[in-house]
Structure 1
Amino acid sequence: MAQKKTTRICIFVFCVVLSIITLLPLLLMLLTSVKSISEINAEQFVFFPKHILFSNYAEAMKKGDWTVYFKNTIIVTAITVGISLVINSLAGYAFARIPFKGRDFLFFLAMVGMMIPSQVTMIPVFIQLKEFPLAGGNNILGQGGTGLINTYAGLILPYIAGAFGVFLCRQFYMNIPQALDEAAKIDGCSRIMAYAHIFLPLSKPVLATLAVLKSSQTWNDYLWPLIMISNNSRKTVQVALVSTFVTEVSTNWNLLMAGTAIVMLPLVILFLFTQKYFVEGVVSSGIKG
């Protein structure tokens, strides 16, 4: 009994220490966001500011057109997540519940995609979107214009599907009893009807999990929007943070941290509302680590 109690105490202490280590960067960001620039540039590190300057948040939002930046990011994220949930859930359902020739090999090829870094495919994807036929002044051969550069479509298309989303949905659907397929078949349901009326309503946990992960990926992405967007009216919040507060001469760290805190707030709210489904989806899909 005493050994169990000691083990629980050790686990508790370990979790507390781990939580502190995880939350420390977030705390430093929040403290930096309310410091004066003199405290940030002081020779000795100032942990707690002498005067809390909440005015930094208002000043940060005055620099740049943040209404446009947030609108662009919300549009790209919402459309990406919506289309991604449909594509990944359908693909996962097909790989998990529909037997067809070559299914395992195709799934293996999809999983290979998880092993390829996005930086490797970034240039080929950029060229494909730039030479997209009949877009941005291009002819039928994809020549003469800018294609999908500086467009929402150019930001959305690379994210609407992904090997991890397919894997997540497949693992979830494989845990559903086979009896449901047999019952649907007896009732005269086609595969698509069984998916829409039986499996999709059961998919809230895994779809919520995928929505949170995909939202975080799209909302926080910096490199791809930086490559695809040169027009200020199409900038996303991550690109705007750097272009607004970071210059070759100096960096307004207090305003940058204030802007970062505001930008991350929608994702925090999303996770709080979907936390229950997120945890359930991770557990039911058999994902570890």
Structure 2
Amino acid sequence: MSSLPDSYLTYPRRHAGPDHDHYPASPVRDRAPVTLPDGAGLGLWVVVPLEFFPLNPSGQPFKAPGAMQTPYPDLRHYTTRDYGNRVGAYRLLKLFGRLGLRATFAVQGAVAERYPGLVQDVLADGHDICAHGWDTDSLHHSGLAADVETGYITRTLDAIQAAGAPRPDGWLSPARAEGFQTPARLAAAGIRWFADWAHDELPTRFRTDGGDLAALPLSNELDDWQILITYGRPEHEWATQVSDAADWLSAEAERLKSPRVLTLVVRPYVSGLPYRVRALGDSLKGVLDRPGARAIGPSDLLRALSA
């Protein structure tokens, strides 16, 4: 029987805390209290990805959620995604206006280049914009050369600015995919915050070799694609899950004397469909009607982190 070499048991990251040096271990119960606008106990952050899905994706290193599925040309899925930018997004804008809710629209560079009017309509309604990578087939991963990944970032920021928006200082990666160097390259490009990591429910400081970032919490588990498409649950169950989360977080905020953040990702081609948008509206209204709840955005989370 052969024994394992000593090198097999040598692991430089074997230490207390997380498996990296971006942030220390910090149980939420030990955090100093934060402050949200108007003394809110529950902040609701809604993020709307505006995505472009190429008709013939390479699928490297994997296919992003929502990418084409059937043999080329997969017009069924392509046109459904296009419906989101043509119809669903405007349905969400109308809903948010009725609720008085300011959302964050995560815009891909290809969307800004192809549909600059949509970007301008989002801005005209008073919503925030962050960058969301070039398109759903330009994924960030450690196999990318540095110049390729930096090119994705710069090209995206340039395209959004060319569409009439302020140059974004926030980022959400396509499919929330990253390589080991992605955060450092984002920081070096002037990005102040990103929302790829789901390690917390409060904003955290995030160290990189390119400068510090703020990691803003963005739940993957209440994402409309995750619940409605991946898990295949009906709309009323998703609404119940959002309500349950708001109940729990509100009670936790009261008990710990520090506010909590509820985050939702809603896609125009998923939640903007006519048979889903009412459930979304009822769900958002149910959260916002709670005592001490209010809609928040990245600037509110950054202030809470720096206070």
Range into which the TM-score falls when normalised by the shorter chain: under 0.3
Which one has the bigger strand percentage? 2
- TM-score, with normalisation over the residues of structure 2? 0.26
Larger Rg: 1
- TM-score, with normalisation over the residues of structure 1? 0.27
